[in-house]
Chains A and B, each alone.
Chain A
Amino acid sequence: NAGVTQTPKFQVLKTGQSMTLQCAQDMNHNSMYWYRQDPGMGLRLIYYSASEGTTDKGEVPNGYNVSRLNKREFSLRLESAAPSQTSVYFCASSPVWTANSPLHFGNGTRLTVT
């Protein structure tokens, strides 16, 4: 049982390049999330998908797009990468969107934009 799987683990981009971060979960969870983690700032929610077929903006959505491809997969796209998007990106899932529904995190993608 893999849980939440993110690819790639590491990525270096030049300013202006685009890329897609992939996330898949095998726990049959309804809700999925993308966070970014910057030094000294904890995690910030970029986008979430409360259920298959829906996506919504979180705290820091600018510069990102998402796709809930199916119940298992939730991808994050950077259309034109900027140095400010250098960060560690975490995908998470939870059984449902309600509060008492623990988040299960992937191992993260470390992205550097030069």
Chain B
Amino acid sequence: GIQVEQSPPDLILQEGANSTLRCNFSDSVNNLQWFHQNPWGQLINLFYIPSGTKQNGRLSATTVATERYSLLYISSSQTTDSGVYFCAVGLYNNNDMRFGAGTRLTVKP
């Protein structure tokens, strides 16, 4: 099956710093989504981005489908950005996706 690798596994930042999280995948995909799991366990959908670039406030994401990777940028990080960020990919135009193991982000005040 499709392999999804996220890096780095852990990241510690000072508040205000910028960061880039990476998601590599082993096959061409039709579905790629980024999720944030906060420290209380809640999962929030951040982006649907099988290709191209999207921005939402301080967060943006870019997927280069031909090179099989996606990047999530967090600018001017805040303590509320802490948690685990998951990339999930799918081969077909449906929501049967495979999740990466996640990047655990800690933002210190």
A99 to B88, CA, bound (A): 11
Per-residue 0/1 for A9-52: is the Cβ within 8 Å of any B Cβ (1 yes, 0 no)?
00000000000000000000001010000001111110010100
- Smallest CB gap from A31: residue in B: B95
A58 within 8 Å of B by Cβ? yes
Given contacts A42-B86, A98-B93, A99-B95, contact A107 B41 (CB under 8 A): yes
Q: Is A64 an interface residue (CB 8 A)?
A: no
A43 near B96: Cβ-Cβ < 8 Å: no
B98 at the interface (CB under 8 A from A): yes
Contact residues in B for A72 (Cβ distance below 8 Å): none
Chain A interface residues toward B at CB < 8 A = 31, 33, 40-45, 48, 50, 58-59, 88, 90, 92, 94, 97-105, 107-108
Please report B residues at the A interface, Cβ cutoff 8 Å.
1, 4, 30-31, 33, 35, 40-45, 48, 50, 86, 88, 90, 92-102
| 5 closest A-B pairs by CB | A42-B99, A99-B31, A105-B43, A102-B45, A43-B99
Known: A42-B88, A43-B43, A92-B43. 9 other contacts (CB 8 A): A42-B4, A42-B86, A42-B100, A42-B102, A98-B93, A105-B42, A105-B44, A107-B41, A107-B42
